[in-house]
């Protein structure tokens, strides 16, 4: 049984860790495939110094000057309401690592270059589009893509076309996003200045790979959860190995006494641990694969919803995943057995069979744990005071969680001692005293339960707080009743005047947009018209008294919270927005929350937007209509405007879509939370099972003195429920501290926005019930075993010949 709990513990720990790693690896492989379109990893990019576009003439000039560069144009197209990343490349000059590089020598080069050209897509994208090879899907902007061709080297969600086709589809003739230099190119930046002045710059390697960078925090969150589950699993392994070694101490002592060398014993024991770790690790890897496969759709939806990143739908496992997973299992098992192995190393040869002095052992253990707990809390405090970045945020959380977990037995002892003092009956007194005695064997499992419960409270509070804030924010932000996109600027003008004749429409509000990059970070600049819809409902985190007037007059801009944090902008600061022609300096007059947006955002007066960005997308609008008129207006628009209307959606659908993305985003977190709780339940179960033999010697005298087995079984359940309840009660404040760390440190570092902190007492009730249910389920089998123990087995405890 001990062996089974050890294998299960290690397998479960490895499963959750490797499952999360499989998801991360899958996502990163997709990002790498997306980035590989441009060429080999590490290839340098030359981009516009203003953050906008590189003129095609500059490319020609650089080629003439001997630069081995290849042009790239990137943009987003929508097909059937779904966003895809369109990339235009030039197959003759593209770098060797690119999946389109093969076209240069392949027979399909002609087909790619000549009209109608080719669109290279992954098979997943082909399936998502519901199209077959050769099909020419139309974008929502009414452009037909070149015929689709399957190319598995292309990442899912990408559409790769010839650069000329991309310029046409994206409406950017003569413009390029970047020039990718061949890895062999050795030209220096000074040479670049000589050709193109200071209009270009060489992008640093760390700036490249937007997706990998944007999604780093998401993957770090997943990794943190995987690590937490792994650590919780190691608690099981530690308990099982500890007991296995404890049971064999007498045998080991005998072996040493008859002359077996210490090194040989240790080698055998280490070999045993390694063997078990490899077997359990392999089982865990298989389970991890299944977990990852089950969670992949939600992770994929989260990444798509949050970052527009497409992750392949089929889990592809690489050899290094196997190696790293088995390595973790091995390292974890050796770590968990280190203390036991050390005990064997220091095993005194002539130790007599002294009964375990549990009180002294418990006292010493509590003291050690207390010191270590204080150390962990000090590390957390230091990380909080002096640390920077996401890693420091996680260090705070890890320090607080570990410190609190180590302090748990001290807290439990204090509460149980109080219970013992208050108890009056003999059984009641024994109940509290015996529960306290049991702590030594159960404290690791209870610590694991505390971690799992507080993670549930913490993440639950954060997610619920986010949901509450997000819903309220959506209500404010999506205040208009209808949102639509016109197919072209001409169509937009036509629709605007057509809407003038629709009496149920009370306001037509343009939501025009331009894209730019500020210090390398993608930023959307929105132009809106001054209207009560914004003044009355658009929530601002901070603003000047005349913010809306200044925005209306073009003398101020509102910026998103994450942009402000990232650029270190305060009210009154001037933000420099690169435009196609120059740089637009405009004072910041307010900040607003923009939850979940990985890009920066600026909101300005629409007329000033079009003045600075002649290429702004002028096709999006929102409409205010008379109460209850939205469905009829939409119906009329669809009937009378036909193809002029690229997309129309009512407020409720848009909110539902946003909420759906939100829910899927946190589905993964919820699943990992539940799995962690299950792991802690297994830890508790494993501890109880491995302790059951020892418990028999402690319970048998009480049975002999006249307490029935049934009553003892009830009391055993009661003890565990008391321990679980105390742990759950302590988990609530710890969970709130964790939630605060997530909200105030991790989210701000990871996403750039801070949520208001809410508490949800009903969640605590659910956690208490979960803890009790976990404890009950963990205790039920050992307790049934106890209840069914035959009297002769109980009497073996007293037998002289035992």
| Per-residue tokens: 493 | 């003008």
| Per-residue tokens: 617 | 């997308």
Closer to another protein at the Cβ: 763 or 787? 787
Closer to another protein at the Cβ: 430 or 538? 430
Least CB distance to another protein at residue 426 (A)? 3
Closer to another protein at the Cβ: 98 or 438? 438
Least CB distance to another protein at residue 425 (A)? 7
Least CB distance to another protein at residue 440 (A)? 11
Angle of CA points 369, 372, 376, to nearest 5°: 130
Least CB distance to another protein at residue 698 (A)? 6
Least CB distance to another protein at residue 691 (A)? 14
How many CB atoms neighbour CB 546 within 10 A? 13
How many CB atoms neighbour CB 802 within 10 A? 8
Closer to another protein at the Cβ: 123 or 440? 440
Least CB distance to another protein at residue 235 (A)? 24
Inter-helix orientation angle 651-704/262-307, to 10°? 160
Least CB distance to another protein at residue 665 (A)? 49
Q: C-alpha 767: how far from its chain's center? A: 22
Judging by DSSP bridges, how do beta strands 119-121 and 54-55 pair with one another? unpaired
Closer to another protein at the Cβ: 206 or 360? 360
Closer to another protein at the Cβ: 519 or 788? 788
Closer to another protein at the Cβ: 364 or 426? 426
Angle of CA points 266, 271, 277, to nearest 5°: 125
First-residue to last-residue Cα distance in the chain? 22
Closer to another protein at the Cβ: 480 or 687? 687
Q: What 8-state DSSP symbol labels residue 745?
A: I
Sign of the CA dihedral 123, 128, 129, 132? positive
Closer to another protein at the Cβ: 123 or 429? 429
Q: Is 27 left (phi over 0), alpha (psi -120 to 50) or beta?
A: alpha
Residues 6+ apart with CB under 8 A from 677: 452, 453, 456, 770, 774
Least CB distance to another protein at residue 245 (A)? 22
Least CB distance to another protein at residue 794 (A)? 8
Place of tokens 């003008």: 493
Strand order of the β-sheet with 148-150 is: 148-150, 119-121, 158-162, 82-89, 69-79, 178-181, 45-48, 200-203
Least CB distance to another protein at residue 778 (A)? 21
Residues 6+ apart with CB under 8 A from 86: 74, 75, 76, 77, 158, 159, 161, 166, 169, 170
Least CB distance to another protein at residue 795 (A)? 6
Closer to another protein at the Cβ: 342 or 798? 798
DSSP string for 288-305: HHHHHHHHHHHHHHHHHH
Closer to another protein at the Cβ: 422 or 708? 708
> Would you report the helix, strand and coil content of the chain in percent, each value rounded to 5?
60, 15, 25
Least CB distance to another protein at residue 791 (A)? 5
Q: Which of 238, 242, 442 is CA-nearest to residue 332?
A: 238
d(CA 554, CA 172): 27
Closer to another protein at the Cβ: 362 or 560? 362
Could you list the residues that contact another protein (CB under 8 A)? 355-360, 425-427, 429-430, 433-434, 436-437, 698, 700-711, 791-792, 794-795, 797-802
Closer to another protein at the Cβ: 513 or 796? 796
From residue 313, alpha-carbon distances to 82, 126, 128 in Å are 16, 12, 10
Least CB distance to another protein at residue 359 (A)? 6
Judging by DSSP bridges, how do beta strands 557-560 and 600-605 pair with one another? antiparallel
């Amino acid at each position: 049984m001990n062996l089974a709990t050890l294998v299960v513990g290690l397998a479960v720990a490895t499963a959750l860790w490797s499952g999360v790693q499989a998801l991360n690896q899958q996502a990163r492989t997709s990002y790498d495939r997306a980035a590989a379109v441009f060429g080999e990893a590490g290839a340098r990019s030359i981009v516009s110094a203003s953050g906008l576009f590189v003129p095609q003439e500059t490319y020609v000039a650089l080629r003439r000057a001997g630069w081995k560069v290849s042009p790239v144009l990137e943009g987003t197209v929508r097909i059937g309401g779904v966003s895809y990343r369109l990339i235009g490349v030039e197959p003759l000059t593209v770098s060797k690592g690119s999946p389109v590089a093969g076209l240069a020598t392949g027979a399909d080069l002609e087909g790619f270059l000549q009209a109608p050209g080719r669109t290279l897509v992954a098979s997943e994208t082909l399936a998502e589009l519901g199209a077959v090879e050769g099909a020419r899907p139309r974008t929502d902007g009414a452009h037909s893509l070149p015929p689709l061709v399957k190319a598995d080297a292309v990442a899912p969600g990408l559409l790769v076309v010839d650069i000329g086709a991309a310029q046409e589809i994206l409406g950017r003739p003569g413009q390029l996003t970047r020039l990718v230099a061949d890895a062999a190119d050795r030209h220096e930046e000074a040479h670049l200045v000589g050709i193109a002045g200071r209009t270009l710059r060489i992008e640093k390697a760390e700036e490249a790979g937007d997706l990998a960078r944007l999604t780093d925090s998401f993957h770090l969150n997943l990794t943190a959860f995987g690590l937490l589950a792994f650590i919780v699993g190691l608690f099981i392994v530690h308990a099982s190995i500890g007991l296995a070694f404890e049971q064999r101490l007498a045998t080991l002592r005998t072996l040493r006494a008859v002359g077996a060398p210490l090194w040989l014993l240790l080698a055998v024991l280490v070999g045993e641990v390694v063997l078990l770790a490899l077997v359990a690790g392999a089982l865990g890897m298989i389970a991890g694969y299944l977990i990852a496969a089950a969670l992949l759709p939600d992770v994929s939806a989260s990444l798509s919803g949050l970052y527009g990143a497409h992750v392949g739908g089929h889990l592809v496992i690489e050899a290094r995943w196997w190696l790293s997973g088995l390595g973790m299992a091995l390292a974890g098992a050796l770590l968990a057995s280190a203390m036991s192995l050390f005990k064997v190393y220091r095993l005194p040869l002539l130790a007599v069979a002294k009964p375990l002095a549990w009180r002294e052992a418990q006292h010493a253990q509590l003291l050690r744990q207390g010191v270590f707990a204080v150390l962990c809390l000090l590390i957390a405090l230091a990380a909080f005071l002096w640390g920077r970045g996401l890693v420091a945020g996680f260090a705070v959380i890890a320090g607080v969680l570990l410190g609190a977990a180590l302090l748990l037995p001290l807290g439990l002892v204090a509460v149980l001692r109080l219970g013992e003092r208050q108890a009056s009956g003999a059984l009641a007194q024994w109940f509290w005293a015996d529960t306290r005695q049991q702590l030594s064997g159960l404290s690791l499992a209870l610590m694991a339960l505390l971690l799992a419960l507080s993670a549930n409270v913490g993440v639950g509070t954060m997610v619920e707080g986010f949901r509450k804030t997000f819903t309220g924010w959506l209500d404010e932000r999506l205040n208009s009743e209808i949102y639509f996109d016109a197919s072209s600027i001409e169509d937009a003008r036509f629709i605007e005047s057509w809407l003038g004749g629709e009496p149920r429409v009370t306001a037509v509000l343009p939501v025009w947009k331009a894209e730019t990059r500020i210090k390398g970070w993608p930023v959307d600049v929105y132009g809106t018209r001054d209207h009560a819809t914004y003044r009355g409902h658009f929530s601002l985190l901070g603003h000047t008294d005349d913010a809306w007037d200044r925005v209306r007059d073009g003398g101020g801009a509102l910026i998103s919270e994450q942009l402000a944090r990232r650029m270190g902008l305060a009210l009154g600061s001037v933000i420099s927005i690169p435009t196609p022609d120059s740089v637009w300096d405009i004072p910041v007059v307010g900040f607003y929350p923009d939850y979940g947006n990985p890009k920066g955002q600026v909101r300005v007066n629409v007329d000033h937007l079009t003045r600075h960005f002649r290429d702004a997308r002028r096709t999006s609008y929102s409409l205010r209509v008379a109460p209850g008129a939205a469905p009829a207006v939409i119906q009329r628009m669809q009937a009378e405007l036909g193809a002029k209307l690229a997309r129309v959606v009512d407020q409720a659908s848009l909110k539902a879509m946003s909420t759906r993305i939100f829910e899927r985003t946190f589905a993964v977190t919820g699943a990992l939370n539940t799995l962690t709780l299950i792991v802690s339940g297994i830890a508790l179960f494993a501890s109880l099972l491995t302790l059951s033999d020892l418990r028999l010697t402690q319970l048998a005298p009480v049975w002999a003195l006249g307490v029935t087995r049934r009553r003892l079984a009830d009391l055993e359940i009661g003890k565990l429920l008391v321990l679980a309840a105390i742990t759950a009660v302590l988990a609530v404040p710890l969970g709130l501290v964790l939630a605060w760390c997530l909200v105030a440190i991790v989210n701000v570092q990871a996403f750039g926005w801070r949520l208001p902190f809410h508490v949800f007492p009903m969640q605590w009730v659910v956690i208490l019930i979960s803890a009790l249910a976990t404890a009950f389920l963990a205790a039920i089998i050992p307790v049934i075993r106890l209840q069914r123990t035959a009297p002769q087995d109980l009497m073996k405890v007293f037998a002289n010949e035992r």
